[in-house]
Structure formats: C-alpha cells, structure tokens
Amino acid sequence: MSAQRRGARPGDRPGLPGLLKGLATTARTLSRPTHTAEYPDTKPALPPRSRGVIALTEENCTSCMLCARECPDWCIYIDSHKETLPATTEGGRERQRNVLDRFAIDFSLCMYCGICIEVCPFDALHWSPEFEYAEIDIRDLLHEKDRLGQWMQTVPPPPALDPRSADPAEVAAANRPPRAGGLRERPAPRSARAAKTAAAEAPSATAAQEEAES
Amino acid sequence: MTVLEVVIRTVAVLAAFLVLPLLVGQTEHKVMAHMQGRLGPMYAGGFHGWAQLVADGVKFVQKEDVVPVAADRWVFRLAPGVALVPYLVAMSVIPLAPNLVGADVDAGALFVVALAGIGILGTLMAGWSSANKYSLLGAMRSAAQLLSYELPIVLSVASVALAAGTLSLSGIVREWSWWWLVWQLPGAVVFLVAALAELQRPPFDMPVADSEIVFGPYTEYTGLRFAFFLLSEYAGIVLMSLLFAVLFLGGWRGPWADSVGWLWTLLKGFAIAVLIVWLRVAWPRLREDQLQRLAWIWLVPIAIAQLALTGVGVVLIG
C-alpha cells in the first residue's frame, strides 16, 4: 500500500476517506446550481466599464489627431480637410475649421488599451460594452465612422459619483460662494476712464509726489 | 410457446435493449454534467437535450465506415457484433417481475455471467485486428482485466446462488429476504467492483483510457461500428445494474410488488446505474498494477470469505 501513497501530500489521509470525499464533493456539486452561462440564449451580465468596442461621437471630433498619434499600434485612421467659413459680420474675418472626412479604427489591430479614449480632449471617443462584432474576414474589422457612430447608442451613462466624493469641477465652480463683499463691490477694472478720474480726484497727491522726486 | 409469443418476447427484449442503454447514457450525460457544475446537452430535442443520444446515433450512421489496410478485415468487422450480441442475449433472461422475463432459464445466473464474459471477447478481437499498437495495448489490458475480475464475479454470484439454493434468477428473488442485504453485503461490494472492471468503466477503464492509449481497442473504429461498441458499454451497465438488483437487492420485491414489481426491478437497477455514473465522476483511473493488486489481494479473498460465510449460514439455517 505504501507504493500507492507515495504521491500523497503530508496532510492528506490516503485511501478510503479520500474516495468518500470525492463522492461527497460531486454529490454536493450536483445539488447546487450550475455555473453554465447559456450565452447566446441569455446575454451575459457585463461589469460596468466593460471594454467592448470604441464608439465615436463625430460632432465632438476636431480632427486633432491626438488619438491617432497616441495609439500604440497605430490602428486609428483620420483624414480631414480645412474649410473656410465666411465672416458672420460685415467686415469680419473669415474663419477656418477642420472637417472630418474619415475616422476609422482597425479592430483587428486594436488592443483595447483605451489610450485614445483617455487622450481625447473633447470626449469624442467612448467605451461601449458591445462585443458581438466578429467577422469572417479579418479585413472586415476595419470600421468606419458611421459604424463607430452607431455604437454610441450602446454607451452607458457615466457611473454615478461616490456618495461623499467631491463635486465635478464645473458644478463646484458654479456653486462656489461669492467672495466677501460680493461681486458688485469688487474693484473696477483699471480702464482708461477710471485712471483719469483717479488723477482728477487726487491732483495734490500727484503734485506732492512730483515735488518729492525733484 | 407459440411462434407469435416468441416474436413478441424477442421484440420486447430488443426494444428494452435499445431504449434502456440510451436512458442510462442520457442520465450519465446529465448527472455527470451537473456533478461538474455544467448543464450538459440542452438543445437536441428541445427539452433539456433529451434527444442528444438519438442525434449522436444519426451522426454515427452518417459517418464513413473505415477499415484500416493492415487490419484483419473479418475479425475487425465482426468485433462490434461480438461485443454487442452477448449483452442482448443476456438481457433476455433477466426477470423484471415473476412472469415478466424474456426467457426463464433454469441456470440464469450462470448463463448471464458466461455471456458477460463473451462480451470482453469483442474488445479483444477489436484490439488484435486493428493493427494498431494502442489497440493491442488496450486489448492486452482488457484481457488481464478479464482474467482477474471474472473470478470475483463468479464467486460472489455463487454465494448468492448458494444462499438461495438455485441458479435461476427468478428463484433467487423468490428466496430473497431483507436480511440478505447484510448477510451478502461483502459479496455485493465485490460484485459491484468486479462488474465495474468487467465493463471497463472508470475507475477501471485502463483498456480504453483515452488519455493514455487513445481509446485503446476502439482507436481505429468509426461510424456505426464505433457506436455499437459504445452501445455495448451502456448495455453492459444496464445488464450489470439489473443483475445486481436481482441478485442482491431483491429484484421486484417491495410495496405493491404484485402490480408494480417490474417497476421496482427497474428502479433498483437504475439506482445502481446512477451509482456507476457517480463513481466515474468522482474517482480517478487506477493504474494497471493497482487493479491487479486490488483484484487478487482484496476482492478474491473477500469473495471466498463471503462464500464460506454463506455456506455456514445455509448449514445453520437448514
């Protein structure tokens, strides 16, 4: 029997108790609910902030190229051109703005690091939990901006802040109490007129200063 | 016995032979899955995959029947039949109720044990004729297993037959009374272990060990012939479970035995089949030498001691 027990760990009791333990464990598992996720029939309960696919809000994009340049495997393609807008007022200056022609992400290259989403200064890119976009051909994984835009509908609202966390910066600024004395009584900005009146009110002081300097 | 009666009995036994193994197989699918925290088949047939084995059968029928070039053709083709038919014939003498039996043979116990031994011959033939070293290894293991486990089976059956004073399976159930559960307990345990080994079921599945010798004797088989081997395995489980119920658990005896006796036999047999599945899930495979050791150091002496105990008991009572 010693030959059979050679593989046992020191704490184990070999032989019959182990066999009974095996029977007990399988019987206990039989009596409990299974762990199987019946995926195509029931959708999986994904955790918040799941990284399924990257969605694009085209209106927010300024073609600044930050995402494309930060992408570690260069899977973002952006084409844009400049458009000249006529002046809105007579005699005004013409304005130029960027117009996005093409925004594409190659999901066969993307490694889902999320850096593009982090660096976007205008919140044009978002994580969507949608993950069912497999293709037969790997080349079909290059998705253009219309497809990326469709995924915006699946982007969940941002998670609520923790109960005791600080307010977001915008809210905090709006709710900040006015300074002592109130806004109205702040010293007026130093304009030309203000300087003139100040000089008129205290001519003697200026004269005294000039005297002292001479 | 008229010709019509013979035909009806044959068809009934054949139907039982085709349905009961599928029932056990489906039970194995589901019980094993749930013991491992899975669901098992869920799609075939709609309701919890009840038709999974029917679908498997259809799949096997569609597959090509390949015979290796180097194979011993006739032996290779004959082997699944040799494995399957003995269990079919043995099934016909198992009594479900006093008058519900395919053919009431006087020496039924001997008949069944002899036929179950022939079933192994199919595995041996398959292993030898496949011209494959894994198959040959499996066949050798199978032969070694047959040699060491026929003896404990025969001895434990002999013990029950001695206690009942008859070799007839119906006669054994008629003589049976509840305290045999204790009196014949060692023999029952020996019979169950040896039956597992004879069926090549885990933890004694070294002949077909898929992770060691690629399903052993069945490596070269495809399609329907492979399915026949699988069917013979499950038919063997049905046969051994029913035989255990008849020999050691009192067959049709139980409340309302006059009306639903056949149900009692089937229920007891089904419980044993579930136990066989349970052992497969819970226990790892033994090594070949461990198996021989278990057979000759434990099972044979216990079976002989049981036979002696039974003899003493019979003399004291008689």
Which of B31, B37, B281 is the closest to A34 by Cβ? B37
pTM over 0.90: no
List residues of chain A with CB under 8 Å from any CB of chain B.
Answer: 4, 19, 22-23, 25-27, 29-30, 32, 34-36, 38
- Determine the structural domain holding residue A79 and report its residue range: 57-87+94-154
pLDDT single digits (tens) A52-82: 999 999 999 999 999 999 999 999 999 999 9
Contacts of A62 (CB under 8 A, 6+ apart): A98, A122, A124
Answer whether A38 sits within 8 Å of B33, measured CB to CB.
Answer: no
ipTM above 0.95, yes or no: no
**A2 within domain boundaries:** no
Residue B71 tokens read as 């194979």
Which of A23, A35, A38 is the closest to B37 by Cβ? A35
- Smallest CA–CA distance from A25 into chain B, residue: B282
Give the Cα separation of A22 and B279 in Å (integer).
Answer: 9
Looking at the structure of chain A, the number of domains it has is 1
A207 class by beta-carbon count within 10 Å (0-12 exposed, 13-18 middle, 19+ buried): exposed
Which of B34, B42, B283 is the closest to A30 by Cβ? B34
Give the Cα separation of B50 and B43 in Å (integer).
Answer: 8
Which of B31, B39, B42 is the closest to A30 by Cβ? B31
Cβ-Cβ contacts under 8 Å, A32 against chain B: 37
**A138 within domain boundaries:** yes
Answer whether B37 sits within 8 Å of A27, measured CB to CB.
Answer: no
Cβ-Cβ contacts under 8 Å, A4 against chain B: 290
Answer whether A22 sits within 8 Å of B36, measured CB to CB.
Answer: no
Which of B36, B283, B290 is the closest to A19 by Cβ? B283
Question: Of all residues in chain B, what percent carry a pLDDT higher than 70?
Answer: 100
What's the pLDDT at B207? 81
- The DSSP element (H or E) to which A23 belongs, if any, is helix A16-31
Answer whether B34 sits within 8 Å of A35, measured CB to CB.
Answer: no
What's the pLDDT at A180? 63
The enclosing domain of A147 has a CATH number of: 3.30.70.3270
The domains of chain B are located at: 20-36+48-317
Answer whether B282 sits within 8 Å of A26, measured CB to CB.
Answer: yes
Angle at B264 between CA B260 and CA B269, to 5 degrees: 150
Contacts of B106 (CB under 8 A, 6+ apart): B167, B168
Contact (CB, 8 A) for A108 and A143? no
Predicted confidence (pLDDT) at residue B212 exceeds the cutoff of 60:
yes
- Smallest CA–CA distance from B40 into chain A, residue: A36
Confirm or reject contact between B298 and chain A (CB < 8 A): no
- The DSSP element (H or E) to which A208 belongs, if any, is helix A203-213
What's the pLDDT at A12? 54
**A61 within domain boundaries:** yes
Q: Determine which of A187-196, B157-166, B209-218 has the lowest per-residue pLDDT on average.
A: A187-196
Average pLDDT value for residue range B130-137: 87
Q: Which of B210, B192, B216 lies closest to B279 in space, CA to CA?
A: B192
If phi > 0 it is left, if psi is from -120 to 50 it is alpha, else beta; for residue B270 that is alpha
Answer whether A34 sits within 8 Å of B283, measured CB to CB.
Answer: no
pLDDT single digits (tens) A112-146: 999 999 999 988 999 999 888 888 999 999 999 89
User: What secondary structure does DSSP assign to chain B, as a single string?
Assistant: --HHHHHHHHHHHHHHHHHHHHHHHHHHHHHHHHHTT-----STTSSTTTTHHHHHHHHHHHS-----TTS-HHHHHHHHHHHHHHHHHHHTT--SBTTB-S---TTHHHHHHHHHHHHHHHHHHHHHHT--HHHHHHHHHHHHHHHHHHHHHHHHHHHHHHHHT-S-HHHHHHH--TTHHHHTHHHHHHHHHHHHHHTT-TTS-GGG-HHHHTTGGGTT--HHHHHHHHHHHHHHHHHHHHHHHHHHS-TT-STTHHHHHHHHHHHHHHHHHHHHHHHHHH-PPPPHHHHHHIIIIIIHHHHHHHHHHHHHHHHHH-
Confirm or reject contact between B70 and chain A (CB < 8 A): no
Predicted confidence (pLDDT) at residue A202 exceeds the cutoff of 70:
no
- Smallest CA–CA distance from B33 into chain A, residue: A30
Give the Cα separation of B155 and B184 in Å (integer).
Answer: 12
Q: Determine which of A170-184, B20-34, B45-59 has the lowest per-residue pLDDT on average.
A: A170-184
